[in-house]
Chains A and B, each alone.
Chain A
Amino acid sequence: MEEERNPNGLSRRDMLKGLITLPVLGYFANRFYVKHKSDFTQHRDRQSVFGISETTFNPVVNMAVTGERLRVGIVGYGMRGTEILRGMGYADNEWAENNMTGGKPNPVLQSFFAQDNLHIEITGVCDTFSLRAEMAQATAATKCRAGNAPQQKTPEIYPTYREMLEDNNLDAIVILTPDHWHAQIAADAALAGKHVYLEKPMCRTAEEAKMLRKIVKETGIVLQVGHQNRQQASYIKAKEIVDKNILGNISMVETFTNRNNDHGAWIRDIPGRANESNVNWKEFLGNSEWREFDPDRYFNWQKWFEYGTGPAGNQFTHEYDCVNQVLDLGIPERVTAVGSLYYFKDRRDIPDLFNAVFEYASKGLSLTYDCTLRNSKLRDKTFLGSDASMEVNVGVVVYPDRQSEKYKKYNPAEDEPLFHYHPRSNIVDATTSATSKYYHERGFGYTYHNGERIDTTYLHIKEWLQCIRNGTKPSCCVDKGFEETVTFYMSNLAYLEKRVVEWDPVRETIK
């Protein structure tokens, strides 16, 4: 039997089946309203409690490159050399080819091309290993330039940095040598009126740091220490969080180095072609004790205190500078350290286990550093406050303290962050939980701006060059380098002399 139909030809059954899903939409709208309101309120509420800005931008990213063309010399071209030259906008062909996928640049190479043209020319290079000097020369004349910069003419190779400085064909130098040469070359360059970009650690000892600081201040040159994490957006955010007292009283800051391979223990390949005819061994040794040519000491110099600075100078300095830019810690009053060489029993004299405690009595906190070369667990820098703890790497995560009254109203679970920030999305997020993988991304060497990956070394060099042109102070200036060197040096002394090392801030001497 035909169903009864209305004038449009629709039966009751048609109406029912046509409209039956509408209540689903009504239910959706209701739930959406409730959820959105609760998320929004929670988000705003936490934002207002914290009073922190939603986003963070590193001003160096958008800093305009202006001013005269600068002539730069390169002293030392080891492993870090290729990275620094890429930061300056010069990529070696091999690296560029390795970053092509299917005939097109991959995201890493695209990020390199997107760097600004820093408006520089590399006018001279030198390295005590002649093959590396030639590699630096070839890279400087590469066609593969960032920011559409034109290919430049081939720079001169100088036998040592002294001839380079004498030639007076440069405005600034980039020092990428072993640690035992840092202070001497930087001081000579400053006295010659050249600006300096100096790889970390700034110097090996407190005395060297004092001497260099004095010369830099007297000559007025611009010195930037190569702690590129100064450009990492997460530390800018972490500083804001600390400044707004979100963590309460910070009693301890923990820092770590965990590595578990030969490379991490400074066992690097020794080029087969290296010999006494192409390595300037005497120049490498400098003022250190005379020895016969020893390729292991030359290429793996980090393994000896004579040329390097151990885990403290090599790795802790990175951690320290990150914490120093957040808390403005300065130099500790007392330092203790223990360590041993247990696992890498080659001819080295640096420890492979190292634990140091840096006391800041006037600030009521201690900074700890633990290094093992036999485990690679990722442990983030952690700031332990009376109200909350903060872990910082590429991202920032703040966890409430369960004994604190301050955040009780949020009824937070102990392992759930109060909020987190990641420069990749550049939004402070108190509403959604991301996976731990996301927060704890290892951040060696890059940050994000508007979701785009950017090399922090490039930003650090860009800042230095603009400071030279504008006559301003860079973020990791000689004063910050002085604090860095004295601090790590105290821990090396404590380890080597098996004693508590104290700092006299008035006389600026170690007791």
Chain B
Amino acid sequence: MKQKLYSNGQVLSIVILRILTGWHLLYEGMIKVFDPGWTAAPFLNNAQGTFAALFKNIASSPLLLEIADQLNQWGLALVGLSLILGFLSRPASIGGMALLFFYYVAYPPFIGVEQGMAEGNYMIVNKNLIELFVFLLFFMFPTDRIIGLERLFYRSKNQTFTHNVKNVAAGNR
């Protein structure tokens, strides 16, 4: 028996959120790609909290800094693209979580840590942390095969595709 995994409303809600989040990361990535002077060095050098020394070390090594710069700009852009298109967005969500984890721990909104330039007021929870968990949601509730490029690949491979609760629960989507 065919059984829909999510209702239409649920799919729509998640896909809209997926596209908006993708838009945000794609723009963050592209703005850096198109800015020849951009580097993560100031961000890393001013890092606060427990891992500040680690980020400073990255900034002080030209090789590591280059890697961090490339991973940042292209990582953001590719994760964003993946989310908008609905293609490989589960692995992209892990990448997104990793990026946001670094942004979060580089400037953690903890009590007693200097907050620097924040456009709002945060205590422990900030927008980076929330977006990180939005990615967890995308990982746990994948929609690429319902609305997204992945649907084309999957359906052409598997003509009897159904959204089956059992299969998903067994990890065999």
Report A's interface with B, CB cutoff 8 A: 5, 8-11, 14-15, 17-22, 24-25, 28, 32, 36, 54, 101-102, 104-107, 110, 424-427, 434-435, 437-438, 448, 450-453
Is the pair A14, B155 in contact by a Cβ cutoff of 8 Å? yes
**B-chain residues with CB within 8 Å of residue A32 when the two chains form the complex:** 27, 30
Smallest CB separation, B21 vs chain A (Å): 12
From B44-52, B123-131, B133-141, give the one contacting chain A: B44-52
For the complex of A and B, 4 pairs with smallest distance between CB atoms: A451-B42, A18-B152, A451-B45, A9-B159
B108 is an interface residue with CB less than 8 A from chain A: no
Complex formed: what's the CA distance from A13 to B147 in Å? 10
Nearest B-chain residue to A422, judged by Cβ: B42
Query: Residue B17 at the A interface, CB < 8 A?
Result: no
**In the assembly, what is the distance between CA of A28 and CA of B41, in Å?**
28
Q: B35-68, CB under 8 A of A: which get 1 and which 0? A: 0010001111110001011001001000000000
Within the complex, which residue of B45, B46, B56, B151 is in contact with A17, where a contact is CB–CB below 8 Å? B151
Whether A14 lies near B84 (C-beta < 8 A) is no
Residues of B whose CB lies within 8 Å of any CB of A are 15, 19, 23, 26-27, 30-31, 34, 37, 41-46, 50, 52-53, 56, 59, 81, 84-86, 117, 119, 146-152, 155-156, 159
Contact B34 A24 (CB under 8 A): no
Given A18-B152, A19-B149, A32-B27; A438-B117 close (CB under 8 Å): yes
Please tell me which one of the listed residues B44, B84, B155, B156 contacts residue A24 in the complex, with CB atoms under 8 A apart: B84
Whether the pair A452, B45 counts as a contact (CB closer than 8 A) is yes
The answer to whether A8 and B53 touch (CB under 8 A), given A18-B148, A425-B42, is no
Q: Report B30 CB to chain A, min CB distance, Å.
A: 6
Quote the shortest CB–CB distance from A443 to chain B (angstroms): 15
Q: Do the beta carbons of B117 and A437 come within 8 Å of each other?
A: yes
B146 touches A28 (CB 8 A): no
CB <8 Å contact, A25 and B84: yes
Complex contacts, B19 vs chain A, CB 8 Å: 21, 24
Contact A10 B152 (CB under 8 A): yes
Residue of B nearest to A449 (CB): B45
Q: Which of B26, B56, B119, B150 touches A28 (beta carbons < 8 Å)?
A: B26
Q: How far is the CB of A53 from the nearest CB of chain B, in Å?
A: 12
Sample of 19 A–B contacts (CB below 8 Å): A9-B156, A9-B159, A10-B155, A14-B151, A14-B152, A17-B146, A18-B152, A18-B155, A19-B149, A19-B152, A20-B147, A21-B85, A21-B147, A104-B53, A110-B56, A427-B37, A435-B119, A450-B42, A451-B41
Instruction: Find A451's partner among B46, B50, B85, B159 (CB 8 Å cutoff).
Output: B46
A243 vs B89: C-alpha distance when bound (angstroms): 53
Tell me the minimal C-beta distance from B101 to chain A in angstroms. 20
Once bound together, how far apart are the Cα atoms of A435 and B117, in whole Å? 7
- Cα of A24 to Cα of B16 in the assembled complex, Å: 11
**Nearest B residue to A36 by beta-carbon distance?**
B34
Q: Judging by beta carbons under 8 Å apart, are B159 and A5 in contact?
A: yes
Contacts of A437 in B (CB 8 A): 117
CB-CB nearest in chain A for B42: A451
Min C-beta distance of B4 to chain A, whole Å = 13
A448 CA to B42 CA in the complex, in Å? Answer: 9
Q: How long is the Cα–Cα vector from A101 to B86 in the complex, in angstroms?
A: 44
Minimum CB distance partner of B144 in chain A: A18
User: In the docked arrangement, what's the CA distance between A54 and B38, Å?
Assistant: 13
Residues of A with C-beta under 8 A to B31: 36
- Residues in A with CB closer than 8 Å to B150 are 18
In the bound assembly, the distance between CA atoms of A511 and B125 in angstroms comes to: 64
CA distance A17 to B37 in the complex (A): 39
What A residues does B37 contact at CB under 8 A? 54, 427
Kindly provide the distance from the CB of B108 to the nearest chain A CB, expressed in whole angstroms.
Answer: 13
Structural contact, B46 and A424, CB atoms closer than 8 A: yes
Q: Please give, as numbers and ranges, the residues of chain B lying within 8 Å of A36 by CB-CB distance.
A: 31, 34
A110 to B54, CA, bound (A): 12
Residue of A nearest to B83 (CB): A21
- With CB as the reference atom, state the residue of chain B lying closest to A8: B156
